[in-house]
Amino acid sequence: MSFKVHVGPPQIAIHEGQTVLVSEPDGRITWPSEKGLYFLDTRIISNWTIYANGEPWELLNGGPINYNAARIFLTNKTILTEDGAIAPRTMGLTISRSIIGGMHEDLDITNNSMKPVRFQLEVAIRCDFADIFEVKSGRIARRGQITTEWSQRRQRLRTVYSNRDFHRSVTITAPRATREAVSANGRLSFEVALAPGEAWHACLLYMLEDGEQRVHAPSDCVGEAHKFPYSVTMAEWLKTVVKIETSNEEFYRLFRQALEDMAALRLPIRGTGPHGVPAGRGTAVVRRAVWSRQPDRFAAEHPRLSGIRPRGAGDSGFAASQGG
């Protein structure tokens, strides 16, 4: 009996909580497509591309290094500069991304040539704030108003979407760069000057907002993400769950990935559950039981959620209504 194996399109997908990033294998977010940086039910960033003096970079390799992190290795094509042409494949660009609430993005460039180089690194970012179902259907209707403002002093690019009482925004900051960024022609530009063998580093932090909550990006670079409290909590949780021993390496990796994916699946109730365990479906079940049987205790522990009423004991889901 034969069967068909369906292989999805080449892409990199990482996620944590209510934030999901889907990009091309080289890190770009192309438009029009279904790729983008999603927060809650909205695609925040619909286009992301990186250039060196207007030239795109060439993919070497890349992919997820964890369910919530990815690393991509690129090299340069021929780059024309005022100091002469930079030969192809003489520089390396590494894009590292991690999501813990917001997104942390590391940009690392190494000059592998025997000559000094100087050029403009440009990051082009566009936002459409499209509803996820409209993105899936391919029929995106423009609504509301999008405004963008750049603060040179704060090194902050803020894009806000408003449609009546619906609000979403993304604030991008560049806190760790050798030289300050500038914003022009829809691009963030960094002047990069490297001696032979020298390296350059910059961070971009993406803070997401929905009008009520601000979801900050992790401050640690991707290489230091294991120090983040959430990563420590995850490691501690993985020590307590069921483990297997098998000679089948592929099955072991599949089982390990399944555990990490289970921990990453969260309901919109953010934070941690009892004893610091990440809030997930099991925690939600416990909270529902407390909610139904001890409403006074639930209201004291979760005042922001006390106005939401669960369905009857015989129902399997939740019915939420604000204000009682």
Q: What distances in angstroms separate CA 133 from CA 139, 142, 154, 249, one per listed residue?
A: 9, 14, 35, 38
Range list of H helices, 35-164: 132-137
Length of the chain: 324
Residue type, 107: L
pLDDT (tens place) for every residue of the chain, 324 residues total: 555 555 667 899 999 989 999 999 999 999 999 999 999 989 999 999 999 999 999 999 999 998 899 999 999 999 999 999 999 999 999 999 999 999 999 999 999 999 999 999 999 999 999 999 999 999 999 889 999 999 999 999 999 999 999 999 999 999 988 889 999 999 999 999 999 999 999 999 999 999 888 999 998 998 765 555 555 566 676 777 777 888 888 888 778 777 776 666 543 334 433 333 333 333 333 333 333 444 454 454 444 444 444 434 343 333 333 333
Nearest to 272 by CA among 234, 240, 299: 234
Strand 102-111, strand 182-184: pairing: unpaired
Q: What distances in angstroms separate CA 248 from CA 71, 262, 263, one per listed residue?
A: 27, 21, 23
d(CA 131, CA 257): 29
d(CA 59, CA 177): 23
State which H helix or E strand residue 12 sits in. Answer: strand 12-16
Residue 99: per-residue pLDDT: 95
pTM above 0.75, yes or no: no
- Cβ atoms within 10 A of the Cβ of 267, count? 15
φ, ψ of residue 37 in degrees (nearest 5) = -100, 115
Burial class (CB in 10 A: 0-12, 13-18, 19+), 29: buried
CB 160 within 8 A of CB 166: no
d(CA 316, CA 17): 22
Most distant CA atoms of the chain, gap in Å: 74
